[in-house]
C-alpha cells in the first residue's frame, strides 16, 4: 500500500526534513503571498510540517493575524501526530484524514468558507501515481477544488521530472533516494510535468507570480538530477 511507507515515518518525518531548504523556502513563500490570509487548505499535510514551518516564520515576522488552516492527509498516523502538534500552535490548525478527492467535503465549515489559499506540497507525485500516472486525472481533482473554492493563491510543490538517465542511472537514482528518504521513484515517469502543470493552471485563470527551484544533492550524481520546484499561482 502507498500509505504504508508514510505510516512508518510518521513519527520522524519532521525530524528528517523540518530545516530542509525546501520547507524553509516554502514557509517564506506562504508568508509572502498568504500572510494576510484567513483560511487556507493544504492537501498532504504529513505530520503538520508545513504548518509548523509557516508558523515559525509568522512568529519571526510578528504576524498575529488569525489563521484557520485546514489540512488533509490519507495517512492516519500522520494526522494523529499533526493533531497532537496543533495543540501547541497559535494558528487554528485542523488536520483531517482524507484524500484530494474529499478535499471539498472535509467539513461543513470548509464548504461554507471561502479559501484564500490552497497548498499542495511534495505529494503531487504520490497523487499522480495513484491516478495511474495520468496528468488529466490529477488535474481533474485539482480543478474540482479550484471550481468549487476559487482560492486566490495556489502554491504547488513538485519533485522535478528528469528525462535522460540510463537504465543503470535510474536504478542508482532510486537506490540513493531510498537511502535518503526511505523510498524512491523513477524521475522520468513518476513525477509531474511542470510545463503541463503550468499550462493547466493558466487555462484555469491562474497566473504564475513566483517560481523557485531547489536542487537536492544526490550521491554519485554531479550535477544532481534530483530537484524540486515551488510555484505560486494567483487567480487572475
Mean predicted lDDT score pLDDT of the chain: 89
The edge-to-edge listing of strands for the beta sheet with 206-215 is 92-97, 68-73, 39-43, 117-121, 153-159, 227-235, 206-215
Q: Which domain holds residue 53?
A: 4-235
Lowest mean pLDDT among 65-74, 103-112, 134-143, 222-231: 103-112
Lowest mean pLDDT among 15-24, 35-44, 105-114, 151-160: 105-114
- CATH number, domain with residue 95: 3.40.50.150
| DSSP line for 33-87 | HHTT-SEEEEE--TTTHHHHHHHHHHHHHT-----EEEEEES-HHHHHHHHHHHT
For the ranges 99-108, 134-143, 180-189, the one whose mean pLDDT is highest: 134-143
For the chain, the straight-line distance linking the first and the last C-alpha, in angstroms and rounded, comes to 39
Q: What is the DSSP letter of 190?
A: S
| pLDDT higher than threshold 80 for residue 14 | no
pTM: 0.91
Q: How confident is the model at residue 18 (pLDDT cuts 50, 70, 90)?
A: low
| pLDDT higher than threshold 50 for residue 11 | no
The tally of domains found in the chain comes to 1
Amino acid at each position: 500500500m502507498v500509505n504504508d511507507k508514510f505510516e512508518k515515518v510518521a513519527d520522524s518525518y519532521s525530524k528528517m526534513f523540518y530545516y530542509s531548504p525546501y520547507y524553509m523556502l516554502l514557509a517564506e513563500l506562504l508568508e509572502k503571498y498568504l500572510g494576510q490570509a484567513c483560511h487556507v487548505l493544504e492537501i498532504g499535510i504529513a505530520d503538520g510540517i508545513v504548518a509548523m514551518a509557516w508558523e515559525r516564520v509568522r512568529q519571526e515576522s510578528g504576524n498575529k493575524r488569525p489563521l484557520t488552516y485546514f489540512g488533509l492527509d490519507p495517512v492516519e498516523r500522520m494526522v494523529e501526530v499533526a493533531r497532537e502538534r496543533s495543540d501547541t500552535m497559535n494558528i487554528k490548525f485542523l488536520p483531517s484524514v482524507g484524500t484530494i478527492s474529499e478535499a471539498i467535503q472535509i467539513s461543513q465549515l470548509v464548504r461554507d468558507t471561502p479559501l484564500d489559499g490552497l497548498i499542495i506540497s511534495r505529494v503531487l507525485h504520490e497523487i499522480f501515481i495513484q491516478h495511474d500516472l495520468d496528468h488529466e486525472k490529477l488535474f481533474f481533482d485539482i480543478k474540482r477544488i479550484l471550481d468549487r473554492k476559487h482560492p486566490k493563491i495556489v502554491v504547488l510543490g513538485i519533485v522535478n521530472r528528469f528525462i535522460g538517465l540510463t537504465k543503470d542511472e535510474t536504478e542508482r537514482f532510486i537506490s540513493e533516494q531510498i537511502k535518503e528518504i526511505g523510498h524512491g521513484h523513477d524521475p522520468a515517469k513518476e513525477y509531474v510535468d511542470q510545463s503541463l502543470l503550468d499550462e493547466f493552471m493558466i487555462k484555469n485563470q491562474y497566473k504564475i507570480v513566483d517560481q523557485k527551484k531547489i536542487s537536492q544533492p544526490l550521491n554519485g550524481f554531479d550535477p544532481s538530477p534530483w530537484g524540486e520546484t515551488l510555484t505560486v499561482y494567483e487567480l487572475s
